[in-house]
Amino acid sequence: MKKQYKIPPKPMAPTAQDQARWEHSGLRHRLLTGVYEEDIYRELYRHLPADRVDNQGPADMSSNPFEQVTRQLAVLYTEPPIVTHEDEQADISSLVSRKGYVTRSGLFQMMQRGQQLALGMREVIVKIDVVPHVMGSRPRGAGIQYRIVTPDFVYCESHPDSPDQPVYYQELRLRTSASGEPMWIADVLDIRNEEDPIFGMYKVEADGSLSSDVSEEFMGHATHRGFGDNGYPYLDGDGVPFLPLEIYRAEKTGQLWNAYDNAPLLWGSLSSNVLYSMWHHSVLQSAWPQRYIAGLQLAGMSGQDLNSTARRATVTTDPTSVLVFNTDQDMQGQPMIGQFEAGVDPEKLLTAIAQYEYRVATAGGISPSEIQRTSGDPRSGYSLSISRQGQREAQRKFSAVMRAADERVMSKTASLCNRFLGEQLPESGYRVSYQSLPLSPEEMRAIREDVIQKLNAGLISPIDAIQMLNPDMDEEEARMKLNQIRRERAEFL
């Protein structure tokens, strides 16, 4: 029989501040990945007495504005970005062509999910590595591997002069020992002292402290330290150590972490689950009129399930039945037959919850004019949708901060390709531009006619025209595009 191992509890963070950040970021992560049922129950117990929660039944997880809004705003990588170099003569095809390392690794496809995590958790880390991790060996596979790491497993320290750039990186990972037992290991990258950089793996104790060095067991060799044969592997072309990772942010704040921002959308989303749980319970338990009798007994009733807590007395009826009531001998006064109104109006309650969700979405920073309901029914709480124009505005809003991270990833990837894969790529000067969401035929026609009229009237230059047709291009990229068009027209027309 195969031996079963129990996964040890997640260790504490190195500081109380980071522990609080881990817990909050973990909540955001669970809502974004659909494993938040226990969080809904905690929210139910926070709002309602325990007996009401126990009587209410299963939690309703059918709506999640936090996930819906962040998913619809994360459209920057719907189409793969265009990567160029400031030097038009530079050959970067081995990096970004169809068979290039970045393309084959699926970085930009992965970033469709990565951007949503960055918007929801405020930061997300993209880790860069070489496969296999052997200097001078060309791998059979893609060569470069990217991995998304969420900040609820990461502890970092930054340089005082650059508080938003980490120089110490500690990632908590669950690994399996040689005996098959799972254990928490910290991957540590430390360039606080550039003269003595460190990359190693260490066992993590329950209190978050690092204990034994387990690099030999999990990496096959001792901790990389300093320079030389077993020195720190992540060096640029000038021999300067760097961290093979990049933090993608929802916005640049100048701080290392911004974990608590945009919290109204998070807590409002959980509260909407509480309200939908109440609506679901109300529909099942109290959405019909309740009939009653006083001073009467229905004749012909028989007992059902007498040995269970659900025991009851029933009588079978159909449209032709005539019910016979006997007067209760203990009744003093006139017997009564009546009906209470339904305890809840499901339609009105659902409308109120939908309006609450709408308010939650606007509290998350979405313009009310950009939120629409795809069904056209204001009572539908399951159709929050952001208009195409709202998504394009989100692209423009997030492109600046994401572009800076993408360009640094390109530079670091080029350094790794040069050092480990024998390439001769430039290690700086990369430019990343994003493709806007497709326009409707009517919108494209209107923009094209406007550009042509202004160009013919001498009101704009060809560079202005290219930028109007490609809003994410800057002047230099537009100039490069025009030169490319001129060369290709001369060659092929």
Q: What does the pLDDT average to over 69-77?
A: 92
pLDDT for the residue 370: 64
Q: What are phi and psi of 71, to 5 degrees?
A: -65, -40
pLDDT for the residue 136: 45
pLDDT for the residue 379: 44
- 256-299: pLDDT as tens digits: 999 999 999 999 999 999 999 999 888 888 887 878 788 888 88
Q: For residue 436, what are the contacts with CB-CB under 8 A and spacing of at least 6?
A: 392, 395, 470, 471, 472
Are 126 and 404 in contact, with CB atoms under 8 Å apart? no
Q: What does the pLDDT average to over 453-470?
A: 89
pLDDT band per the 50, 70, 90 thresholds, residue 363: confident
Give whichever of 54-68, 213-227, 328-342, 403-417 has the largest mean pLDDT: 403-417
Cα 173–Cα 177–Cα 178 angle in degrees, nearest 5: 150
pLDDT for the residue 111: 96
- 5-37: pLDDT as tens digits: 688 999 999 999 999 999 999 999 999 999 999
pLDDT for the residue 380: 47
Average pLDDT of the chain to the nearest whole number: 88
Are 431 and 259 in contact, with CB atoms under 8 Å apart? no
Position 433: which residue type?
S
pLDDT for the residue 203: 95
pLDDT exceeding 90 applies to what percent of the chain?
52
Are 417 and 95 in contact, with CB atoms under 8 Å apart? yes
CA distance 279 to 288: 14
Give whichever of 68-72, 147-151, 485-489 has the largest mean pLDDT: 147-151
CA distance 357 to 66: 10
Residue 157 has pLDDT above 90, yes or no: yes
Are 218 and 203 in contact, with CB atoms under 8 Å apart? no
pLDDT band per the 50, 70, 90 thresholds, residue 368: low
- Higher-pLDDT residue of 292 and 196 is 196
pLDDT for the residue 2: 61
pLDDT band per the 50, 70, 90 thresholds, residue 382: very low
pLDDT band per the 50, 70, 90 thresholds, residue 383: low
CA distance 122 to 430: 25
- Higher-pLDDT residue of 427 and 376 is 427
Q: Is 40 helix (H, G, I), strand (E, B) or coil?
A: helix
102-111, 190-199, 297-306, 345-354: segment of lowest average pLDDT: 297-306
Positive/negative CA dihedral, 473, 479, 484, 490: positive
Q: Is 11 helix (H, G, I), strand (E, B) or coil?
A: coil
Q: Which helix (H) or strand (E) holds 468?
A: helix 462-469
pLDDT for the residue 132: 66
- Alpha carbon distance, N-terminus to C-terminus of the chain: 72
pLDDT band per the 50, 70, 90 thresholds, residue 310: low
Q: What does the pLDDT average to over 307-311?
A: 74
CA distance 120 to 123: 8
- Higher-pLDDT residue of 217 and 114 is 114
pLDDT band per the 50, 70, 90 thresholds, residue 378: very low
- 110-150: pLDDT as tens digits: 999 999 999 999 999 999 999 865 444 455 564 899 999 99
pLDDT for the residue 339: 84
Q: Locate tokens 């470069």: which residue?
A: 144
